Amino acid sequence: MQRSNRELWLALIAMLLITLLYLFVTSYYSTIPSASGFFGHALGIVGFILMLLTETLYSWRKRSRSARWGRMASWLRFHIFTGLVGPYMVLLHTSWKFNGLAGIVTLFTLIIVLSGIIGRYIYTAIPRTPDGIEIEAQQLSQQIQALEKQLQQITAESDQSTREVARRLDVLPRTSGAPLLILLGNTFYEWRYRQQWRTEKRRLNAAARAQADQLQKVFNRRNTLRRQAQTIANARRLLALWHAVHIPIGVALFASAFVHIGAALYYATLLR
């Protein structure tokens, strides 16, 4: 589990556990749990609460510069976790019926999740401090230069074999093409880059492998900064655009969801 993707793994495990529970209940009652049943209601209520937390807590923390409760990165991870698990529970709550307003709410939910996933990559394309403060271009350039020096120093102190690997893998990330594709494709690039390093390091002896590990970390950080430096302008435009789409969908989602909850209370829960 990569540290940078820990919230995704945790969300995946949580969804897996919820799925197992869902299948057990389905098997036990020999029917899909209805939305109005105890289990279905529980899924909907908990899922919606998680979605509310997703919507509010991270945004509050992001806007509250004076209240330093936890690092922004941690809040973002929590935001991502609840933003995946909550909608998944709401999806199970539907009992796979998408009629009327409830279906629209589900549709909004799916859209907002997909939008959130895209937004995550746009957001991370903009260099920030651990507290979420954007790093300016000049600072970014200085950090890149410092990393270049660090690379030269480490390479000079390394074995010949390590230097050969560093030379082969000293490549810059792709920065041409549509900005959104570049942002989204970066994940694939980084994965392939990690595979290349893993392949190269297998050929090295133990001492050279330790040097290579050090070099890989510096290369990754330098590449990330370089990519961000080259895409920061596009990323900021995309982020603004994303906000313009994501927030209204979210507002529409929660407005519809509250109406759905009211109708459910009126027509079902409070039914006599």
Least Å distance, CB 46 to another protein, is 20
Verify binding: residue 161, another protein, rule CB under 8 A.
no
Q: Which stretch binds another protein (CB under 8 A): 130-138, 149-157, 227-235, 252-260?
A: 252-260
Nearby residues of 11 by Cβ (< 8 Å), 6 or more positions away: 80, 81, 84, 85
CA proximity to 89, closest of 31, 30, 49, 37: 49
Least Å distance, CB 267 to another protein, is 5
Residues 107-126 that bind another protein (CB under 8 A): none
- Choice between 233 and 255, CB closer to another protein: 255
- Choice between 156 and 271, CB closer to another protein: 271
Could you count the other beta carbons within 10 Å of the beta carbon of residue 240?
10
Q: Which stretch binds another protein (CB under 8 A): 64-72, 134-142, 169-177, 195-203?
A: 64-72
Least Å distance, CB 51 to another protein, is 13
Residues 24-63 that bind another protein (CB under 8 A): 35-36, 55-56, 59-60, 63
Verify binding: residue 102, another protein, rule CB under 8 A.
yes
Q: Which stretch binds another protein (CB under 8 A): 4-12, 156-164, 195-203, 256-264?
A: 256-264
CA pair distance 124, 79, nearest whole angstrom: 14
Tokens of 72: 């922004």
Q: What is the 3-state secondary structure (H, E, C) of the chain?
A: CCHHHHHHHHHHHHHHHHHHHHHHHHHHHCCCCCCCCHHHHHHHHHHHHHHHHHHHHHHHHHHCCCCCCCCHHHHHHHHHHHHHHHHHHHHHHCCCCCCHHHHHHHHHHHHHHHHHHHHHHHHHCCCECCCCCECCHHHHHHHHHHHHHHHHHHHHHCCHHHHHHHHHHCCCCCCCCCHHHHHHHHHHHHHHHHHHHHHHHHCCCHHHHHHHHHHHHHHHHHHHHHHHHHHHHHHHHHHHHHHHHHHHHHHHHHHHHHHHHHHHHHHHHCCC
Q: How many residues bind another protein (CB under 8 A)?
A: 34
Least Å distance, CB 13 to another protein, is 30
Q: Which stretch binds another protein (CB under 8 A): 134-142, 190-198, 218-226, 262-270?
A: 262-270
Q: Which stretch binds another protein (CB under 8 A): 19-27, 123-131, 180-188, 264-272?
A: 264-272
Verify binding: residue 255, another protein, rule CB under 8 A.
yes
- Choice between 103 and 142, CB closer to another protein: 103
Least Å distance, CB 104 to another protein, is 8
- Choice between 65 and 168, CB closer to another protein: 65
Write out the residues near another protein by the rule CB under 8 A: 35-36, 55-56, 59-60, 63-66, 97, 99-102, 243-244, 247-248, 250-252, 254-256, 259-260, 263-264, 266-267, 270-272
